[in-house]
Amino acid sequence: MREAHVLRQSKSGLVGLVLAVAMAAGMAVGVAQAADEAKNVIAYRHNVMKGITAHITQIAMVAKGEVSFTGHVAANARAMADAAKTIPDLFPKGTSLDEVPDGNEAKAEIWKDWDKFTAAAKNLEAQATKLAEVAGGGDVAAIGAQLGEVGKACGSCHEPFRKMKQ
């Protein structure tokens, strides 16, 4: 008799666990869908871009001799390269300046010339990766020169694809 009672409790506990997992999964799907609203995607990508800018600024401070943290340059450059890999994902259709004007700088040209846009992101990744390699040598002049190449990579995307703030 006691065994039957324990078995019923185990089954009801298992059913409860399955229901809880199913509900959590359903809620997660709802959260994921809400998180992909255009305004949220735009805010997210702005933060990614601000992060890239912060890493560039930190490296520039080293290159200018304002701080001596040459050992940090490679980590900052790798973070930029990692962020660059995500750039195409940050621009799903429906998030252009024409479609969502508030707080948005993404020109429709991104989606009109997607291959050029993704190539620009890959170039940023490549230049940031090279900067991480150059940083290993600790040569501040070489770091500065490669940082210039990273800046050119940023500009090759911003100029055709980003509406500049006025």
Q: Indicate which CATH number applies to the domain containing 114.
A: 1.20.120.10
Are 128 and 141 contained in the same domain? yes
**What pLDDT does 13 receive?**
56
- Would residue 166 count as lying in a domain? no
Is the C-alpha dihedral spanning 63, 68, 71, 72 positive or negative? negative
Are 71 and 137 contained in the same domain? yes
Contacting residues for 58 by C-beta, under 8 A, at least 6 apart: 69, 72, 76
Residue 27's domain comprises 1-35
Are 50 and 30 contained in the same domain? no
Are 48 and 116 contained in the same domain? yes
Which H helix or E strand runs over 152?
Answer: helix 140-161
**What pLDDT does 97 receive?**
93
Are 62 and 117 contained in the same domain? yes
Are 22 and 53 contained in the same domain? no
**What pLDDT does 34 receive?**
58
Q: What's the pTM?
A: 0.77
Contacting residues for 19 by C-beta, under 8 A, at least 6 apart: none
Residue 155 to residue 88: CA distance in whole angstroms? 16
**What pLDDT does 145 receive?**
96
**What pLDDT does 11 receive?**
56
Are 23 and 68 contained in the same domain? no
**What pLDDT does 36 receive?**
87
- Would residue 41 count as lying in a domain? yes
**What pLDDT does 66 receive?**
97
Q: Report the domain count for the chain.
A: 2
Which residue intervals of 36-91 are DSSP H helices?
A: 38-63, 70-86
Residue listed under structure tokens 């997660």: 28
Are 10 and 68 contained in the same domain? no
Are 125 and 51 contained in the same domain? yes
- 8 A C-beta contact, residue 107 and residue 69: no
- Assigned token pair, 132: 């991480």
Render each residue's pLDDT in the chain as its tens digit; 166 residues: 555 555 555 555 555 545 555 555 555 455 455 568 999 999 999 999 999 999 999 999 999 999 999 999 999 999 999 999 999 999 999 999 999 998 899 999 999 999 999 999 999 999 999 999 999 999 999 999 999 999 999 999 999 999 987 6
**What pLDDT does 103 receive?**
87
- Would residue 105 count as lying in a domain? yes
